[in-house]
Structure 1
Amino acid sequence: MKLILTHEVSGLGAAGDVVEVKDGYGRNFLMPRGLATPWTKGGQKQVDALVKGREVREIKDLDTAKGMKGQLEAKSVQVPAKAGQSGRLFGAVSNADIAAAVKAAGGPELDKRKIEVKTHIKTLGSYEATVRLHPEVAATLKFEVVPA
């Protein structure tokens, strides 16, 4: 199945990319979530215009992304969460919680979809997340989950 990505999908591509995926993945995951649309000739013309505009923006955004990477990696971020006496959380820490904590710590505003955490965070402690700032730049964000 040939699709046009409308948002960045980790491991697949950026917005505007034309990708070939299996039918079930496209029909059951990408399209219902609004991450992709079916490929058409008219859509291909729009993709070409988007790619051309993105290439112009990426050159100046690369320097900005590198600056943000240094800023994020130097920050000490604490994510408050409700927890029991044993340190187990009531619920879990989401990407939106991490983005809000970075902003509260004086960091840049992050898109929650650009934050990738390898494990579900269900206990207090220190964790790491990868933040995709640019197709060529990824920052490692270290944060600590503390009781609220």
Structure 2
Amino acid sequence: MSKLILTHEVSGLGSAGDVVDVKPGFARNYLIPQGFAVAWSRGGQKQVEAIKAGREARELATIEEARDLKARLSAATVTLTVKAGAEGRLFGSVRPADIADAVKAAGIAEIDRRKVEIPTPIKSTGDHEATIRLREDLVATINLQVVAAK
């Protein structure tokens, strides 16, 4: 097992600043090259504290604000206009950054694209769902309406 310090949130593993044990291949081939983690060392404790302080600053200030945002996101239907073929098939797929931009354009809130999770790839027009991790313990589901650009 390799001991690492996460520098970004990784689904199913942990949040930025967490110290985790993972298999050496996962660390060597994915987490470290992608910049999601750095090797743990005794001097790394200062780095952990700096990462956690940055994460706390970016997190929504209170649980009430997060719950309010969750209610607004769940109630809204966000429309995404994308390039699509004649049969409603997209050229590519919808990315988390596209969803974050659409939520911002709809005037709901400004969210971080790294907090958006798409359970199944969105490759066609129609109604879809995505989740947004507002806090470690609070997840909002957002309804998306994907339409073809004219």
Mark yes or no: TM-score above 0.5.
yes
Q: 1:128 to 1:29 in 2, by over 3 A?
A: same
State the partner residue of 2:20: 19
Distance (Å, rounded) in 2 between the aligned partners of 1:78 and 1:92: 15
Number of aligned positions between the proteins: 148
Structure 1 unpaired stretches of 5+? none
What residue in structure 1 maps to residue 100 of structure 2? 99
CA contact (8 A) 2:104 2:110 kept: yes
**SS where residue 12 of structure 2 aligns?**
coil
- TM-score (normalised: structure 1): 0.90
CA RMSD of aligned residues (A): 2.1
Q: Unmatched 5+ residue regions in structure 2?
A: none
- Give the C-alpha shift of residue 104 in structure 1: 0.9
Q: Given residue 94 of structure 1, which amino acid in structure 2 is its aligned partner?
A: R
For 1:40-94, what per-residue CA distance to the aligned partner results, in whole angstroms no more than 9, with x for missing partners? 0010243246557867997943222112111111111001111111111111111
The equivalent of 2:6 in structure 1 is: 5
CA distance in 1, matches of 2:44, 2:58: 21
How does the TM-score come out when normalised to structure 2?
Answer: 0.89
Given the superposition, is the C-alpha separation of residues 85 and 56 from structure 1 closer, same or farther in structure 2, using an over 3 Å criterion? Answer: closer
Task: Deviation per CA, 1:91-117: give whole Å up to 9, x if none.
Answer: 111111111111111111111111111
Is 1:36 aligned with 2:31? no
Greater strand proportion: 1
What is the percentage of aligned positions where both structures have the same residue? 55
Aligned to 2:81, the other structure's residue is in SS state: strand
Task: Tell whether the 8 Å contact from 2:60 to 2:135 is kept in structure 1 after alignment.
Answer: no
